[in-house]
């Protein structure tokens, strides 16, 4: 367990999957959490209810983080409703897979807009608040695909590689103001995003994992909780893979 007592956290895209596990974990470790969703209101409310049932504090906030005004308002509302903002987890993400030569402009743009520009939109607003408070931890959910590339995911790999460069730059810009930024690079994690993949792709992925199992959302959440906490006070600008031994960079 990381000690997040008294901290206030915004987790983008936490109605489902990895984000929902992160929201639950941060709350279990003592943080008050803003659970953001784009369309899945019922699922977000269920995450909030499960946190409250366990004795934690959470609010559900709708926002499309790819929209700059929506994202800025989300950060402002999180800050207002939680009474401050110590932790930002940029987790919201989508896939629109397809081979490069067949990839549409829309599939390229929507993935960049959500997975990369979305993180820029929230981080720009949160950074101002965190710099003023002289404390903060930003954790960006990238992917091993942003390090190694992956056939059929030119848009997604570009966004995640961009997110890694963004994280390192944010870390350099904000370090002197007491704000850290790190990226987490999950491998293959069992969520809605990966359940739709064909069996052949799942088998190929499993073959590439030294531990011979897919990751759970909790595997990712425990690393995020650590990086968000003061236990990681001297860690910034890093990319940490949580992939069961898929990449060894």
Among 117, 121, 125, 143, binds ligand NAP (CB under 6 A): 143
Beta-carbon neighbour count of residue 216 at 10 Å? 14
- Across 76-169, the runs of DSSP E, i.e. the strands, are 87-90, 136-141
**242 binds ligand NAP, rule: CB under 6 A:** no
> Which CA distances in Å does 23 have to 74, 103, 160?
16, 33, 21
Say if CB 9 and CB 33 are below 8 A apart: yes
Binding range to ligand NAP, per CB under 6 A, among 30-38, 131-139, 147-155, 196-204? 30-38
Could you say which of 156, 166, 188, 226 is catalytic? 156
Binding of residue 191 to ligand NAP (CB under 6 A): yes
Residue 244 is a binding residue for ligand NAP (CB under 6 A) = no
Q: Please, which residue, 85 or 92, has the CB nearer to ligand NAP?
A: 92
Per-residue binding letters, 112-141, with ligand NAP (x by CB under 6 A) = --x---x----------------------x
**Alpha helices by DSSP H, 83-136:** 105-112, 118-133
Whether residue 114 contacts residue 65, with contact meaning beta carbons closer than 8 Å, is answered with yes
Binding of ligand NAP by 12 (CB under 6 A): yes
Q: Which of 103, 112, 193, 197 binds ligand NAP (CB under 6 A)?
A: 193
CA 189 from centroid of its chain's CA atoms: 13
The only residue of 56, 162, 186, 244 in contact with ligand NAP, by rule CB under 6 A: 186
Q: How many residues bind ligand NAP (CB under 6 A)?
A: 31
Rounded (5°) CA angle 166-24-80 = 65
Read off the DSSP letter of residue 79. H
37 is an active site residue: no
Name the residues annotated as catalytic: 156
């Amino acid at each position: 367990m990381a000690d997040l007592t008294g901290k206030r956290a915004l987790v983008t895209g936490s109605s489902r999957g990895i984000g929902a596990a992160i929201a639950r974990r941060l709350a279990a470790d003592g943080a008050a959490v803003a659970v953001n969703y784009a369309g899945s209101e019922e699922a977000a409310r269920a995450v909030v209810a499960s946190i409250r049932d366990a004795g934690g504090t959470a609010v559900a906030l709708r926002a499309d983080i790819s929209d700059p005004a929506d994202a800025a308002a989300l950060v402002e509302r999180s800050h207002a409703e939680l009474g401050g903002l110590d932790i930002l987890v940029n987790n919201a993400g989508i896939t629109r897979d397809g081979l490069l030569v067949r990839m549409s402009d829309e599939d390229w743009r929507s993935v960049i807009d959500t997975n990369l520009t979305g993180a820029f939109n929230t981080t720009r607003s949160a950074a101002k608040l965190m710099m003023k408070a002289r404390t903060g931890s930003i954790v960006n959910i990238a992917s091993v695909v942003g390090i190694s590339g992956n056939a059929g995911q030119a848009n997604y790999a570009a966004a995640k590689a961009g997110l890694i460069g963004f994280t390192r730059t944010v870390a350099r810009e904000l370090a002197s103001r007491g704000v850290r930024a790190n990226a987490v690079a999950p491998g293959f994690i069992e969520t809605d995003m990966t359940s739709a993949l064909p069996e052949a792709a799942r088998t190929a992925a499993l073959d590439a994992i030294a531990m011979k199992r897919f990751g759970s959302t909790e595997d990712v959440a425990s690393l995020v909780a650590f990086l968000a906490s003061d236990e990681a006070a001297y860690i910034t600008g890093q990319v940490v893979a949580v992939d069961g031994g898929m990449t060894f960079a």
